[in-house]
Chains A and B, each alone.
Chain A
Amino acid sequence: MTTTQFTRLMRSEGMRGFTLMSPTLIYALLLLAIPIGVIITFSFWTQHYLDFDTTLTLKNYAIIWEKPIYQTLLFRSLIVAGTVTLVTVVLAYPIAYFVAFRVQDHKAIWIFLITIPFWTSYLLRIFAWKLVLGYDGLINSTLINLGLIDEPLSFILYNMNAVIVTLSHAWLPFAILPIYVSLEKIDRSLLEAATDLGDKPLMRFLRVTLPLSLPGVIAATLVVFIPTVGDYVTPKLVGGKDGVMIANFIQIQFGKANNWPLGAALAITAMVCVTAVAVSVAGFIKFIGSRIR
């Protein structure tokens, strides 16, 4: 390659964009791609006291496959995350719809107020739910004062339901954003056309608005489902014994149990399961969408 050719290549549109992107890309490669590659390798190793036996083996995966505790944990994490996703998307949709179609002025302020709790003190928001659901919490003291119960209800905190309620509340603001964006993008003249052609509001919603907003629904499903499977704080704070999830066990392997390869294998297994479920759910929603239209 001659010098002129090289300068031309460097000055080309594509190369300039690539160069500009490269610091960010290199950072992500070094601190995301390589580390994930390393834990995948790790998951095939064995812990040998404080050191590692680097012979590649499937032993860790065999342990996860054979011991019922891991399957229970994985299954529970998926169920919790799935329920949380369903609850958040169903509750978020009407709000996104409300802001996109009913609010006339100051839409940005509404979105700002809705999303702000998502950014503030994750730890304390989860903790605040203990004050709501706890033995002397808001719900119990209100019910007692109203004379509806005599003894505080003890089944509302420290179990799987508490985890689901708390996580749903924490992720609601985040689920609204993608749904809102897709609703906002819908060309309003399509809705008028549907009305002119004789569709009643409900039919119009089902046949025009809903299918057009499905990309937002899919995005919301993914941004809620994938991170919640790996949540550590919520099960630890409000989950009690029955609410333990996979992340708590991963942490134990990297902490007390000191079995890093097993922890890595657990993390990889969880990721593979999550991706498989997420992809099939997204595909299913798309399929339903194509059927209604």
Chain B
Amino acid sequence: MKFRFLTLYAVVFMFILYLPVLLLPLFSFNDSTIVAFPIKGFTTHWYETLLKEEPMLLSLVNSLKVACATAFFSTLLGICGARAVTRYNFFAKKTITAFVMLPLVLPEIIIAISLLVVLLRMGFDLSLFSVTLGHILMTVPFSIAVLISSFEGFDKSLEEASMDLGEGPLMTFFRVTLPMVAPGIVSSLLITFTISLDEFIVAFFLSGTEPTLPIYIWGQLRFTAKLPTVVALGSCLLISSFLLLWMAEFFRRRVQKRTGIKESVL
């Protein structure tokens, strides 16, 4: 009895979780200029207008630049952090780790305004570069969290064996450690890329005159006539982030198979 109730709850839960999001693809094919019920008919018109939307393509390119740079640098910082946390004991380890992970719980608007004030006071112009700086700060904790699970399952004796066989620490890292955790790194790259691609608040404050994709979408939401195109764009974004995350998950599980630890979530 209890079993059935929980299962039912889980099914209803999943349905409601996905319901609003699934309305986007539905309306993107709706043959009507207003995004509202009832559904009129099928069309691919909104996807065609989307492809001709010059500012959208520009902001997409901006977003891709920011997301690539963010993914690369935050994963690099994440590797240092995750490796230090899992392998060594050092002074004030808990405090330092908590501080580095802080952006995970800090309201984004605090990060946004504090960076805005500092950058402008220092005489920097707002640009895609400032957005990237903010995104790296926000995504490092996620990268560390993903990578810790890769490094944790790692058998230390493999590295020791390599050292005994005469490899230096650097070569050991590149020839033993890195290949073992490579899928974890790919997973971190994909996740940080997805977060950056999607991030709004920090970009809203720091992007200056170069809009990223979410900033472009935000601008379009005000115009009713533009909504069907935005909905089409939204559907494309949903599918691409789903694919990116699915790939991230695939790689994250590969590393667990390799290192031989059992299925875990964090």
Give Cα distance in the complex from A22 to B249, angstroms: 29
Q: Which residues of A contact B17 (CB under 8 A)?
A: 114, 117, 169, 172-173
Q: Pick out which of these stretches binds chain B: A31-39, A66-74, A280-288.
A: A31-39
- Contact check: which of A13, A121, A135, A232 meets B237 at CB < 8 Å? A121
Min distance, Cβ A268 to any Cβ of chain B, angstroms: 9
Assess the B221–A247 pair: CB atoms within 8 A. Answer: no
Q: Does B225 reach chain A (CB closer than 8 Å)?
A: no
Q: Which of A127-160 contact B (CB under 8 A)?
A: 127-129, 131-132, 134-138, 140-141
Assess the B34–A28 pair: CB atoms within 8 A. Answer: no
Q: Which residues of B contact A199 (CB under 8 A)?
A: none
Q: In this complex, what residue of A is CB-closest to B215?
A: A123
Min distance, Cβ A204 to any Cβ of chain B, angstroms: 12
Q: Does A251 reach chain B (CB closer than 8 Å)?
A: yes
Q: Does A18 reach chain B (CB closer than 8 Å)?
A: yes
Give Cα distance in the complex from A180 to B264, angstroms: 11
Min distance, Cβ A133 to any Cβ of chain B, angstroms: 9
Q: Which residues of B contact A24 (CB under 8 A)?
A: 77-78, 80-81, 84, 100, 140, 144
Q: Pick out which of these stretches binds chain B: A56-64, A188-196, A207-215, A223-231.
A: A223-231
Assess the B105–A17 pair: CB atoms within 8 A. Answer: no
Known: A25-B100, A124-B217. A34 touches B118 (CB 8 A): yes
Known: A34-B118, A111-B265. A132 touches B20 (CB 8 A): yes
- Taking residues whose C-beta sits less than 8 angstroms from the other chain, chain B's interface range is 35 or more
- Chain B 32-69 against A: per-residue CB contact (8 Å), 1 yes, 0 no? 00111110000000000000000000000000000000
Q: Does A177 reach chain B (CB closer than 8 Å)?
A: yes
Q: In this complex, what residue of A is CB-closest to B87?
A: A17
Interface residues of A (CB under 8 A from B): 13-18, 20-25, 27-28, 31-36, 38-39, 42, 91, 94-95, 97-99, 102, 107-108, 111-114, 116-117, 119-125, 127-129, 131-132, 134-138, 140-141, 169, 172-173, 177, 180-181, 184, 201, 222-223, 226-227, 229-233, 237, 247, 250-251, 254, 260, 263-264, 267, 270-271, 274
* 16 more CB-based (< 8 A) A-B contacts, given A177-B266, A222-B105, A254-B113: A18-B91, A21-B84, A23-B77, A35-B111, A94-B6, A95-B13, A114-B17, A120-B21, A124-B21, A124-B24, A124-B237, A128-B234, A129-B20, A136-B34, A138-B23, A230-B107
**A-B pairs with the 9 shortest C-beta distances?**
A230-B107, A17-B88, A136-B36, A35-B114, A17-B90, A141-B37, A128-B20, A21-B84, A20-B84
Interface residues of B (CB under 8 A from A): 2-3, 6-7, 9-10, 13-14, 16-21, 23-24, 27, 34-38, 76-78, 80-81, 83-85, 87-91, 93, 96, 99-100, 102-111, 113-118, 121, 133-134, 136-137, 140, 144, 191, 194-195, 198-201, 204-205, 214, 217-218, 221, 230, 234, 237-238, 241-242, 245-246, 249, 253, 263-266
